[in-house]
Structure 1
Amino acid sequence: MKTKNLIYILSFAVLLFACSSSSSDDVSDPDPDPDPTTKVTYKDDIKSIIDGNCIGCHAATPTNGAPSSYVTYTQVKNGIDNIINRVNRTGAGKMPPNGTLSASVKALIQQWKDDGLLEE
């Protein structure tokens, strides 16, 4: 009887740990609940998202087929429509290729555009 209980406990533990979230879909989310009265700025909000999710390919010298660099404020500002398009895709061409940005991060990027692409 003890062996049977041990098997049940071990099976439950394996199932519990197998269901934990550690997928590549958990892309960095710097501020999951931004204050809606505060203007979104590149320096305070967007730069960390770009640095954490885009710079790997969109560096000063783009790699892995990336067509543009997103290192500076001006580069990100000029590419914002393409960035928004790519992060909102679900199929071919979605960015970042290693996962999906959370809805709150996508909304933050859109809010930055709507707020006027403020630098600071």
Structure 2
Amino acid sequence: MSFKNLFLCFSLIGLIYSCSSDSNDDLSPTPNPDPNPNPSGKVTYNGNIKSIMSSFCTSCHGSPTSNGAPMSLTTYAQVVNAVQNRSLIARINSTSNPMPVGGLMSQTNRDLVQQWVTDGLLEN
């Protein structure tokens, strides 16, 4: 085999080897460095509270209501009204008469609802 062919073979092998990789780094999605969809850091109804209401409240406080629930909690306006006029914060924190009826929701969820009120009942 001539030197020219030998050089061509090694060059081709080197090119193929340099194009391959044992790394899976390019196959993994890059994590979002800021998973908070709200850049202001404030708790909002659409970003945080709506899912809590859907998970813990709307089985009774839906539209229509069921199990004797006095009001619906399916919209931003209804939840704001419940906070301002129907003692929603006191009810979700009550140990003697809790909402939801099955028992207190997690402290994290109750803290989020309280932070939403503190942040000004923001919708978005």
Interval of TM-score (by shorter of Structure 1 and Structure 2): 0.5 to 0.7
Between the two structures, name the one with larger relative contact order (CA 8 Å, sep ≥ 6): 1
Counterpart Cα distance in 1 of 2:123 and 2:113: 13
The correspondence for 2:115, drawn from 107, 111, 115, is: 111
CA distance in 2, matches of 1:85, 1:111: 14
Runs of 4+ in 1 over 3 A off after TM superposition: none
* Structure index of larger Rg: 2
The equivalent position to 1:87 in structure 2, one of 88, 92, 104, is 92
1:56 aligns with 2:59: yes
SS in 2 for 1:79: helix
Cα separation, 2, equivalents of 1:45 and 1:70: 14
Listed one character per residue, the Cα deviations across residues 53-106 of structure 1 (whole Å, up to 9, x for unaligned) are: 000000111111111100100000111152211110001x21111232111111
Task: Give me the whole-angstrom Cα distance separating, in 2, the residues matched to 1:42 and 1:67.
Answer: 21
Structure 2: gaps of 5 or more residues: 1-35
1:47 aligns with 2:50: yes
- Root-mean-square deviation (CA), in Å? 1.7
Among the aligned pairs, what percent are the same residue? 45
- 1:16-35 to structure 2, matched below 5 A, reads none
Query: Structure 1 residue aligned with 2:71, among 56, 64, 68?
Result: 68
